[in-house]
Amino acid sequence: MTQLEVKVKDLLPIPELMAMRRVLCVQAHPDDAEVGAGATVAKLTRSGSEVVYLTVTDGGVGTEDASLAPSELARIRRREGEEAARLLGVSEMIWLDFPDGSSLDFTAVREKIIAAVRQVRPDLLMVMDPWLPYEAHSDHRTTGFAAAEALLLSGFPHVCPQHLKEGLAPHAPQAIAFYGSSRPNTFIDATSTWPLKLEAIAKHKSQFPPGNLEMVTAYLTAKAREHAAGRGFELAEAFKVLSPLHLHFFEDAWQC
């Protein structure tokens, strides 16, 4: 460990994910949070934390079936998402219903996330890591970057000042937890809630037909074993947890 790493950890400790009592879980599509963080969401709600989901797109293009209209698929996916979230103990779902897969408008998505932060007033944001190398899906990247910037800006009254007239006061969450990260710094023991995560993923029948579900389940479970190796438990979900200070002009954030 270098001298610099020691100092950075002392000056800017990594926030404690499981200590967060209110969580806003932002996802581009109705199944992202279950795949990336389902076991941790269930663990948080079981320990008394409140978790609210904010889903950015309607998920309407997630099919190879040309006869299934996007509006019909969006209805199916909303129902699947609600069933999955209920299993995990999620208390509220907010749907932004941006069209799926059509190049999201960053500023528009960021404004909606800031409004949700000011409404829900979470300690922690959770979202897919937009810095994941080779992530080709722009919905994932845009949603992740918008949530990261919302963490920085939601506490400033002159950002989206129209919210004040709508009764939404500024609010600054303490931290963000990125799932699907290639640089995780936090490993949550997911052993007790792993079956619940898999059950929640299976609710997304439109996205995971039987053969596909088995492959996804096998991969996620193998990955969870890898994340848990040497930590004294069997299965883990991995996150990159950062504070707002880590996310602003800070050269060492990638190795925190």
In the bound complex, what is the minimum distance in angstroms from residue 159's beta carbon to Zn ion?
Answer: 27
Q: Does 100 bind Zn ion (CB under 5 A)?
A: no
Q: Which of 17, 20, 24, 29 binds Zn ion (CB under 5 A)?
A: 29
By CB neighbour count within 10 A (0-12 exposed, 13-18 middle, 19+ buried), where does 221 fall? middle
In the bound complex, what is the minimum distance in angstroms from residue 209's beta carbon to Zn ion?
Answer: 17
Whole-angstrom distance, CA of residue 96 vs CA of residue 24: 14
- Look at the block and give the residue holding tokens 């998402």: 81
In the bound complex, what is the minimum distance in angstroms from residue 94's beta carbon to Zn ion?
Answer: 17
Whole-angstrom distance, CA of residue 234 vs CA of residue 226: 9
Interface residues for Zn ion in 175-214 (CB under 5 A)?
A: none
**CA distance between the termini of the chain:** 12
DSSP structure class, residue 183: S
- Look at the block and give the residue holding tokens 């492959």: 215
Number of residues that bind Zn ion (CB under 5 A): 3
**Nearer to Zn ion (CB atom), residue 59 or residue 170:** 59
The stretch among 25-33, 111-119, 167-175, 243-251 that binds Zn ion (CB under 5 A) is 25-33
In the bound complex, what is the minimum distance in angstroms from residue 196's beta carbon to Zn ion?
Answer: 20
| β-bridge mates for residue 23, sequence order | 51, 124
In the bound complex, what is the minimum distance in angstroms from residue 78's beta carbon to Zn ion?
Answer: 15
The stretch among 20-28, 49-57, 85-93, 145-153 that binds Zn ion (CB under 5 A) is 20-28
Q: Does 32 bind Zn ion (CB under 5 A)?
A: yes
CA dihedral 207→112→123→140, nearest 10 degrees, is 40
Whole-angstrom distance, CA of residue 141 vs CA of residue 107: 13
Which residues are near Zn ion by CB under 5 A?
28-29, 32
